[in-house]
Amino acid sequence: MNEDEDLELLALQRQLDDAFQTTRPRPNFEAELWSRLHSRRPNWPRTREGVAGFVGSIWGSRLPSVAAGLALIVLVAAGVFTLARLPHGGGGASTAFGPVSNSNAGQAPRSADFGLVPRPALSAPSAAVSGPATYAGAATLVWAGNLQVSATALPVYRYTEPTRAEADALSAKLGATPSADVALGGIGVYAGRNFTLVVLSSVAQPPREPYFNVSDLKTALPTSGDSVTVATAYLAAHHLLPTWPYQTEVRTLAGTTVRVDFLRSFDVPGLGRASLVDSAGNPYGTEVDFVPGTPGDFERVPLPLTLDPATYPIISADQAIIAMGAGSAPSGGAIPVVRITQAELVYTLVWGGDHGYYEPAYLFSGTFTNKGVPTVKRVLIPAVVPSLLAP
């Protein structure tokens, strides 16, 4: 397989990954796809063996069906809420906040001038790559945590969808030029030295900001050092290191593929940092996938966006706990009882039709055993006062 075919194959896989993010293909689609690729490329078996850990294992976890995505929206049922303990001051939050660099420094937030903002909510989770399973059904919730937030107002950040001209300019800074190829759901496809780059627009459901997909099978970097060092070197080679605060997490996918997540945080005035979570409540940011000891990697990187801030009043921690309790189901039958032991202020992306919004929210969670499997139950409560949320 020559270099152009390598890049074409990776670009195709990434396009399919994103095109079917909210749609499940017909039965036997994947087998048919592999069959066609095999017939076009005699050397495909050798290549597939090398990259199967990258794309094959990820394929199934990113293809929730439209029906499931609509039907498994987190159900909130009015019922009994057991207050094991309410916070009454004196205790600090479990996360210690230190000095941070504010990526939005110099911008003076205005007061609620976006008008009504869309309401954040959890969506049905896709198959987990690692960690406990996620439960989206009804549960009897028992509050057993500690949540204290002193802020009474926080910024909401809004961005405008990038144009093709802006995508061209961003890609040129990375050393990539426009390609004649097209990508489903993409703003543009670009070719750089040893890599292809696809710029994709926002996804409404599950919400996702515009981002780069980078496919690189050729760049060989020093393999000494830990996984974070290797992933950082690949991002630096493509000029895609995060400019926002982050923490790193290393996971092993199928086979020998390693994923390094650069988990994004927002600077919260007076509080420190708040994690950015997706519509399933999982922290996210930039992803780098690679097989140790082999050249090349896959990267998924949010586009640098101009964020316009505006300050919105928020509900208190006590009000958030009460709102969380309103979603508790009556105990009995097969409904699990879940102790909610963790709570934190987070930011989450919400798509508003013509803009994307990063909004503050309270994320509650607790773990329990569901049919012998460790499972986490999450509840997301919008932090912006209800009168400023769209119906």
User: Helix 44-59 crosses helix 29-40 at what angle (to 10 degrees)?
Assistant: 160
Contact by Cβ (8 Å): 232, 241: yes
CA nearest 238: which of 166, 297, 163? 297
232 and 299 in a single domain? The answer is: yes
The highest-confidence range among 24-38, 64-78, 80-94, 359-373, by mean pLDDT, is 359-373
5 and 153 in a single domain? The answer is: no
The number of folded domains in the chain is 2
Quickly list DSSP for 327-353. Answer: TPPPPBTTBPEEEE-EEEEEEEEEE-S
pLDDT tier at 385 (50, 70, 90 boundaries)?
Answer: very high
* Mean pLDDT, residues 151-174 taken together: 95
Q: Which of 24, 43, 71 corresponds to the end of one domain?
A: 71
Instruction: Tell me whether residue 305 is in a domain.
Output: yes
pLDDT the model gives residue 359: 98
156 and 22 in a single domain? The answer is: no
27 and 132 in a single domain? The answer is: no
Four-residue CA torsion sign, 167, 282, 140, 314: negative
Residues 121-153: tens digit of each pLDDT: 998 665 545 568 899 999 999 999 999 999 999
Tell whether the model's pLDDT for residue 378 goes beyond 60.
Answer: yes
152 and 224 in a single domain? The answer is: yes
Instruction: Tell me whether residue 174 is in a domain.
Output: no
Instruction: Tell me whether residue 5 is in a domain.
Output: yes
240 and 316 in a single domain? The answer is: yes
Range of the domain at 18: 1-71
The C-alpha atoms of residue 96 and residue 94 are separated, in whole angstroms, by 6
